[in-house]
Amino acid sequence: MPLSKKLAAEFVGTFWLVFGGCGSAVLAAGFPEVGIGLLGVSLAFGLTVLTMAYAIGHISGCHLNPAVSVGLLVGGRFPASELGPYVAAQVAGAILGSAVLYVIASGAAGFSLDGGFAANGFAEHSPGGYSLLAALVAEFELTFMFLFIILGATDPRAPAGFAPIAIGLGLTLIHLIGIPVTNLSVNPARSTGPAVFVGGWALSQLWLFWIAPIAGAATAGAFYKWLGSEE
């Protein structure tokens, strides 16, 4: 598959993840009387990955996430030569997803970026008021488990055809745990998109949502490479 087509798939897929997941949080989570709440937002993020895994998994592998690309690289499943272009495509898709969401959300009277725009944060910008340390540990550990699920579900020895379901449900579970802590990232591109529009505090705290997920993913890649070896 030409790299250009892989990058186009990653761009569209990450656009869908951010627009669908963050869009559910911004547009539907608190809608009067019928808001979908934390459970609905968690499911929305899982569904974006599930649907894209079936739509583009055979084209690009459906990473949609710089941390996933790094974890797969460390795990021996992804070439280093494609890492930079993949990350660029993912971040660009995330920013466009946030831009389209902003155009829609700002069409409602009373809309304000002060509501957070689904940006990730810690301390006073954590939904539950969790500290920097708590956010760091949560993002590291939950990204580790997400990559562990991905690597196990896509192992050639795993049952064929079910990987998207396991990965989508895994991301749903991770959001159920992590939304109160940081609004849940486990994805530097997903964090970057909303932060570009919120600016200020969101950009100043963005470093954590690059460092912790990438570190967690790389650790999972190394661990599964050892665990899955038959030696």
pLDDT digits (tens, 9 = 90+) for 92-119: 999 999 999 999 999 998 889 988 899 9
Digit-coded pLDDT (tens) for 19-33: 999 999 999 987 877
pLDDT tier at 224, thresholds 50, 70, 90:
very high
Residue 51 is part of a domain; what is its CATH number? 1.20.1080.10
Say which amino acid occupies 119. A
Decide: 112 and 186 in contact? Cβ < 8 Å.
no
Measured CA to CA, the distance from residue 17 to residue 50 in angstroms comes to 10
Q: Is the pLDDT confidence value at 199 over 90? A: yes
- State residue 159's pLDDT score: 87
78 occurs within a structural domain: yes
221 in a structural domain:
yes
For residue 72, what are the domain limits? 3-226
Distance CA 9, CA 89 (A): 9
What does the mean pLDDT of the chain come to?
95
pLDDT tens profile 59-98: 999 999 999 999 999 999 999 999 999 999 999 999 999 9
**Is pLDDT of 229 > 90?**
no
> Would you list the DSSP string of 18-69?
HHHHHHIIIIITT-TTT--HHHHHHHHHHHHHHHHHHHHHHHH----SHHHH
Cβ neighbour number for residue 72 with a 10 Å cutoff: 25
pLDDT digits (tens, 9 = 90+) for 35-66: 889 999 999 999 999 999 999 999 999 999 99
- Res. 230: pLDDT tops 80: no
Residue type, 217: A
Question: How many domains does the chain contain in total?
Answer: 1
Global confidence as pTM? 0.94
Tokens, residue 103: 């155009």
> Is 231 a residue whose pLDDT tops 80?
no
Q: Can you give the pLDDT at residue 179? A: 96
Q: What are the helix (H) ranges across the chain? A: 3-23, 37-60, 66-74, 83-105, 132-153, 163-182, 188-198, 200-204, 208-227
Give me the phi and psi of 186, to 5 degrees please: 50, 20
Flag the least confident range among 27-31, 134-138, 162-166, 224-228: 27-31
**What per-residue confidence (pLDDT) applies to 4?**
97
Say if 231 falls within a structural domain.
Answer: no
Average pLDDT on 129-152 reads 98
